[in-house]
Amino acid sequence: MFTKLTPINKEQHANLKVKAIENFDFASKFHIASVMVHEFVKAASVYPIVFLEDKSQDEFKPVALLSLDAGENLFIGEDGKWQASYVPAIIRRYPFALAKNPDQDSFTVCIDEDSKYVGTEDGQLLFNDQGEPTEVIENVKRYLGELQQMEVFTIAFCQFLAENNLFTPLNMRVKAADQIKNVTGCYVINEERLNNLSDKKFLEIKAKGYLAPLYSHLTSLSQIERLALLKQGISAVETPQQAESSLQ
């Protein structure tokens, strides 16, 4: 997504402007998008939510599947418009991002200088004539700050699932574009293990605010068939009867 991510500063970016995103061509090759726990409820109505294991960090991370094939995003039309009711927050933040400062518990707001939505001709200025941040910068800082807090919560959520042995590998077969595809390489929550947790552990899940995302994730797995339909060129807004018929 980012090709030239640079920390924002008033000396270097005094005349820099940012335009509103008109299309999502920059995400057309993304078959997954990271999502935060707070997004699960909305994202689950559109995308399958699964977990990827990052062995280098010894952690699991939730992602929304945008396709069953790498290098493909089934939710971007020929006009570059996002064809779904919800766009993952990590996509909406573009062309901005946070970078952690080395040896510090703080972050710096960065911008992709190579983005076609960044330049000196059109858009909203990042700094005013006095060199002070404009409302654009303030809004971005607030938005990215909220995402960072969500990420902390999401990391704790995934750690809890791992510690309680609730992850299990996904192994599913679906028909997509006249081919049978094996959906593997990711993890889901083991519903049987979840249901067998003690009452005490279940109350702990409730107290932590994990119930809604847990069941949103489990519900979202039916959207894997939605991806198969989209791959076949069948509208994802067709009736359940049409979808069922197409998958037989």
Reported as a single tens digit per residue, the pLDDT across 208-226 is 999 999 999 999 999 999 9
Is pLDDT of 243 > 60?
no
**219 to each of 46, 191, 231, how far by Cα in Å?**
11, 11, 21
Q: What is the mean pLDDT of the chain?
A: 90
| Pairwise pLDDT comparison (176 vs 206), residue with the higher score | 206
Confidence at residue 234, expressed as pLDDT on a 0 to 100 scale: 63
pLDDT on residue 184: 87
Read off the pTM.
0.87
Asked whether residue 82 carries a pLDDT value surpassing 90, the answer given is yes
pLDDT for 89: 96
Across 46-55, 113-122, 191-200, 237-246, least confident range:
237-246
Give domain limits for the chain.
14-234
SS3 41: helix
Judge contact between 75 and 236, C-beta under 8 A.
no
Distance (Å, whole) CA 210 – CA 207 = 8
- Cα(120)–Cα(17) distance, rounded to whole angstroms? 5
The answer to whether the beta carbons of residues 109 and 137 sit under 8 Å apart is: yes
Give the span between the Cα atoms of 30 and 10, in whole angstroms: 32
pLDDT digits (tens, 9 = 90+) for 4-27: 999 999 999 999 999 999 899 999
